[in-house]
Amino acid sequence: MGGTSAERDVSIASGLRIAAALRSRGHDVTSLDTAHGAIDRAAENELLRAGVRQAPPDLESLAAMSRQSLSPSLGTLPAVRQAEVVFLALHGGQGEDGTLQALFDLCGVRYTGTGQLGSALAMDKDLSKRLFRDNGVQTAEWLMAPASVAEVESQVGFPVVVKPSKQGSTVGLTLVREPAGLDAAIAEAFRYDDEVMLEQFINGRELTVGILGDEALPIGEIIPKHELYDYECKYTKGMAVEEFPARLDAAVAAHIQDQARRAFRALKLRGYARIDFRLDDSGGCFCLEANTLPGMTELSLIPQAAAAAGIAFPELCERIVQLAITEGRT
């Protein structure tokens, strides 16, 4: 958990909750922050009290942490080498983009979730959307920066969502309504990534589908207090309403779940993931992205989807571990 991405705080909150859940099922769990090392129970309690801040950590502090990160030596740590399974609760950065997965593959360490290739594909939103289209999954139009105002107007239109191509939790994302704001939004997104996507804004309902093994969980609808489901709405209690299951016609719900399973397969995902959609006023369903290591905090979506399917959080965590074992990844 933890790490040095902009989603560090969320990752710690996810990891600590997972550790507590697995301990409640009788498992022996060691908590490990890839930026600083093992976390004892006293440190866990201190981190729990700190919680998730309303904004992500600043880039300067993350850069300082990355210089002392343990990532290169993770595969040699006794806590990792001796573990039956490493539960990955990292979000963004090298913990989710396939880098750490490749390291563990080389070291023969079994871990939860998607492997190296699928993780890399899902993290890169440009490649994801190309694979979605090739596999019959509808997605919003997009361009990659640099792009002129004229190109945006003719190919995508305003308003346009400007975001880092390989980032999560809406970090660095801006909804640009007028051409005058385009350059500043692109510059802000480039602070977090070396590639920036300019995506058609789909005005409509925000939906999400959790995939667990080969099962599509009940669809959820997110109704944020802000116009977009941004970082503050995701991780601040009371800033969004989530409905599980979403109020949808049965045929529409079945179609969206089918699209989620197609997206999961298209990106070669394994174990579990969360697939996000927008449903426009005419009933068009647009896949936005796949999250291979979705949030597992008290406010996160896939635990709520599992609960709607009758799966309590400790059972969800244990099932994710069992999937890692049965899939035979070593």
Which residues are catalytic, by number?
Answer: 7, 169, 235, 274, 276, 289, 291, 295
C-alpha dihedral (123, 256, 15, 66), degrees to nearest 10: 10
CA–CA gap between residue 76 and residue 255 (Å, rounded): 45
Helix (H) or strand (E) holding 32: strand 31-33
CA angle 60, 62, 65 (to 5 degrees): 115
CA–CA gap between residue 47 and residue 13 (Å, rounded): 8
Q: Yes or no: say if 292 and 96 are a contact pair by the CB < 8 Å rule.
A: yes
Indicate the burial class of 319 (C-beta count within 10 angstroms; 0-12, 13-18, 19 or more): middle
Q: Which residues pair with 208 in a beta bridge?
A: 220, 276
Pairing state between β 220-224 and 204-212: antiparallel
DSSP letter (8 states) at residue 297: S
Q: How far is CA 21 from the centre of its chain?
A: 20
CA–CA gap between residue 54 and residue 44 (Å, rounded): 20
